[in-house]
Structure 1
Amino acid sequence: MFEKTFKDFNLNFSALNESNTFSSGDLVTGQISFELSKVTKIRSITMCLLGKADVHWSSGSRKRRRTYYAKIDFFNLKSMILQEGAVGGPAPLPPGRHVYSFTCQIPQGDFPSSFRGPYGQIVYNLTVGIDRPWHMSKDFVTQLNFVHHVDSNQPELMSPLSGSNSMSVCSLSCTSGLITMTGSVGKKGFTRGETIRIICNFSNASSRTVTPKAMLKQKQQYYTREGVHRRLIAKKLDSVTGLPISAHTEETHTEMTLTIPAESSLTISNCSLLHVEYEIELSLCQRASPDLTVVFPIVVCDIPLRPHYVD
């Protein structure tokens, strides 16, 4: 068996940063090491660097169950770490510890960040394969944490967001009262763990009490290759409820805050099979009537944004 011959197999990377992430164009360097318990012939040690996305889900009843599946390879790079005895056959390696260094470069390209969800994933794998005569090839797979860097120089990410909405509410006497809501967020781009400050102004001319609420949502959308079929998941990540606003109240000002969870995925908009989006939903909740809402789409980045000042 493989484990009886190869002891203490390790695959180690050289970290490029504190978060141990990789991005487009980065050079991946490291070592593989193992201990041989006896003289062993090895045909080759290969390395494969693969970036891919795949989605899969099923729908319908048990009798009419339908499965959807799609896959895209961003890149698939293969190289040789060791190739012994190309002419005379595999050369034997002596017992003891063996260490081999490797280097590979992630291609330049607009590749999406790593992600894993219930109906799909975006993964970047480094696979080391050991091939021996008269044995099944043995593969060791390690995942790279890949990050797509958003261009922080985009003006729209630092631009404030604002929106308003209003509706008339008819009471039992059918006297209409207007409810208005205006909200604003200081910018569009945020990082994981950052707090979002929402400034709100409300006016309630109706005869009902309304309650303001802010919610941070994540939307995961999975697509087939043609984009004809879609699977959507919406998750509430954080929410806050403000003080009720009494009937016939004018110009109520309040502020609410939401926090992006530190473990949240980054926004993904550059993959045809899988999107991850975020939005802030500001609403006024009332009984027996639809909620009044304003939605702000935001972007979760990996690098803190810095305002650009013009002299």
Structure 2
Amino acid sequence: MPIKFFSIEYDAINSRNTFTNRDKIHRRIIMETYKETKIQSLTLIAKGKGRVSFGQWDALEEQMVPVYCRYTAKEKYYKVKHVLREKGQDGGRHAFPFTFIVPDSRKIPSSFEAPKGKIVHKLKAELKQLMKPKKTTEIYVQSRHEPSRTSGDSIQVTAGIRNNASCSVKPKFVLYEKKRFFAKGEVEVYLDIKIFFSSAPQPWGSGDTMTVKHLSIEYDKVNDRGTVSPGDVLSGKVTVVTSKETKVQCFVVKAKGKAKVTWYEEEGQSTAVYCNERKYFHLEHIILQDKQKGDGSEIIAPGKNVYPFQFLIPKMDMPSSFSGKWGNITYSLRAQLTQSIWLVHKAKTEFLFLTKSEFPFASKSEMIIIGLKEQQCATRISFYGSGKITMKVTSEKMGLKQEEAMGVSVDITNDSARRVIPKFYLCEKQTFVAQSKTKVYTNDVFFGTGESVPAERSGIITKVLSIPPQLPPTFFNCCMMKLEYRLKVILDVPLVRDQEVKLPLVILLGSPKPHQPRPKRSIWFRKLSR
């Protein structure tokens, strides 16, 4: 190998070792040989290019299994050649000076590097002979035409910390970079995170970063149950504790009522999100507001400050508070104290809302209201190899209040050779709707078992069922969710699939009293059990 040493060097023009449009890059190419060597040519090549490469799993239409696809894209911004030496014979150590001017073009981006793509600007020396060694060095180019911040620019950041723990904390500032790569019409986003540490962040503006020590909101109970209904006046107070005189841009209390539904479903290799939201009311009460926008002219005195507020709940048909499997109906109070655009203090509390509608149904016809007091009856006949079993279930009524007791009668005619046992369940059904899609959640509450009926015998089993006080009432007056109940009686037959009968059941809002005695049997049940 006649080439002993071959390298390329350039002079830096600034402390950051970067170049921009129209800058001159000059230095030399150094070559040292063991002996006299024939050279075809010595060329300096300057070029800038960008390249993206990433892979992902795709499901092709003509194939049933996923296929891993690789996406790549390249783009050249410039390429300049300069011949420094043509054919000749050289020996020993030689230096070949060069000068290169970075092209003046707005389409040339700055140097950039990420795991799945990069933009590079290179100087390459190419010596052509029988053996052609190549040496490459990388330069960093920053475009003059980019309006964004450059490296070294300062950005002021404020972090407000309230440390109620027993240990010390240290703030950590994170800069997020979002990078996009394009190849063959596909897009992939990669997030690169650079972390900067600072143990003493400087306060923003007037220095009121940590002057607010405590912020809380509370409301007065309207009744013994602690609920709020349409037309009620909801009053309360906001408490603010500050360490010194504090400037405030805005101090507001908000009352909100909304329903929200969210669930996820797997669709192939992706996950679909179904969500829906509806606001019932949004009320605001401004406690403090600066006269000039954003000048912080309002001042809170040091120490404890209490501010009262009052809201009139709108008189409209709204569902009661509810927490379901994939949806919630919530009513809340929020206090927001704004010192600056960077420093906002918040406090929140929820209150229990109760509709005034006695029958919160979508259809309030007289037939439904009358039907709540009527007996409900259903019969099921099952045939087995050894005979048939007839089960007739009768409930006292369809509508039942919380903590109210109801008698249920099961008339069984067992003509089979097996012993049967009735079991009682309360079925809860939650239905959620979002984006024309329906999701149903069911839950069975076990009430107990009745007496068994031997083979070739008949019997009437009676049981008193008491509705738990914590069970939410039936409702249909929300367009995104509804709650229904059924009374289910299962006939447990050995070695055979259980047979069941369901009766409609509407749970109404009750009026539980403290120290309420144990529910007694109804007159209907006492007549039935004689």
**Residue of structure 2 equivalent to 1:186:** 396
**Which one is further off, 87-96 or 6-15?**
87-96
Over 3 Å counting, the alpha-carbon distance change for 1:108 and 1:69 in structure 2 is same
Shift of 1:159: 0.7
Contact 2:262 2:274 in 1 (8 A): yes
**Residue of structure 1 equivalent to 2:445:** 237
- Structure with greater Cα Rg: 2
Shift of 1:135: 3.9
**Residue of structure 2 equivalent to 1:127:** 334
What runs of 5+ residues in structure 2 fail to find an aligned partner?
1-159, 163-209, 360-365, 513-530
**Residue of structure 2 equivalent to 1:246:** 454
Contact 2:319 2:354 in 1 (8 A): yes
CA distance in 1, matches of 2:263, 2:227: 29
Contact 2:215 2:347 in 1 (8 A): no
**Residue of structure 2 equivalent to 1:91:** 298
- Aligned ranges for residues 57-76 of structure 1 at < 5 Å? 57-60=263-266, 63-76=269-282
* CA RMSD across the alignment: 2.6
Contact 1:190 1:304 in 2 (8 A): no
Aligned to 2:227, the other structure's residue is in SS state coil
Contact 1:219 1:278 in 2 (8 A): yes
**Residue of structure 2 equivalent to 1:222:** 432
Over 3 Å counting, the alpha-carbon distance change for 1:288 and 1:169 in structure 2 is farther
* 1:285 maps to amino acid: D
CA distance in 2, matches of 1:32, 1:25: 22
Contact 1:202 1:253 in 2 (8 A): yes
Give the total of aligned pairs.
298
**Residue of structure 2 equivalent to 1:37:** 243
- Aligned ranges for residues 1-311 of structure 1 at < 5 Å? 1=160, 3=162, 4-60=210-266, 63-86=269-292, 90-133=297-340, 135-151=342-358, 155-156=369-370, 158-171=372-385, 177-226=387-436, 229-250=437-458, 252-304=459-511
Cα deviations by residue, 1:87-114 (Å, 9 ceiling, x for unpaired)? 8851322212211111112211111111
* 1:275 maps to amino acid: K
Contact 2:376 2:398 in 1 (8 A): no
Shift of 1:16: 0.9
Aligned to 1:222, the other structure's residue is in SS state strand
* 1:77 maps to amino acid: L
CA distance in 2, matches of 1:5, 1:52: 33
Contact 2:285 2:309 in 1 (8 A): no
CA distance in 2, matches of 1:106, 1:282: 42
Aligned to 2:370, the other structure's residue is in SS state helix
Aligned to 1:156, the other structure's residue is in SS state helix
Cα deviations by residue, 1:2-48 (Å, 9 ceiling, x for unpaired)? 74422343312110112211112221101111222101111221122
Shift >6 Å, 4+ stretches:
none
CA distance in 1, matches of 2:356, 2:396: 22
**Which one is further off, 157-166 or 122-131?**
157-166
Over 3 Å counting, the alpha-carbon distance change for 1:65 and 1:92 in structure 2 is closer
Shift of 1:170: 3.4
Shift of 1:301: 2.4
Aligned to 1:137, the other structure's residue is in SS state strand
CA distance in 2, matches of 1:92, 1:67: 45
* 1:171 maps to amino acid: G
Aligned to 1:48, the other structure's residue is in SS state strand
Shift of 1:248: 1.8
Shift of 1:60: 2.2
Over 3 Å counting, the alpha-carbon distance change for 1:253 and 1:119 in structure 2 is same
CA distance in 1, matches of 2:506, 2:258: 23
Query: TM-score with structure 2 length normalisation?
Result: 0.52
Cα deviations by residue, 1:54-106 (Å, 9 ceiling, x for unpaired)? 11111225613222111111222223122244588513222122111111122
Quick one: higher RCO (CA 8 Å, sep 6+), 1 or 2?
Answer: 1
CA distance in 1, matches of 2:281, 2:378: 45
Aligned to 2:353, the other structure's residue is in SS state coil
Contact 2:407 2:462 in 1 (8 A): yes
Shift of 1:280: 0.8
Over 3 Å counting, the alpha-carbon distance change for 1:92 and 1:67 in structure 2 is closer
Contact 1:71 1:225 in 2 (8 A): no
Over 3 Å counting, the alpha-carbon distance change for 1:225 and 1:197 in structure 2 is farther
* 1:24 maps to amino acid: P
Percent identity for Structure 1 against Structure 2: 26
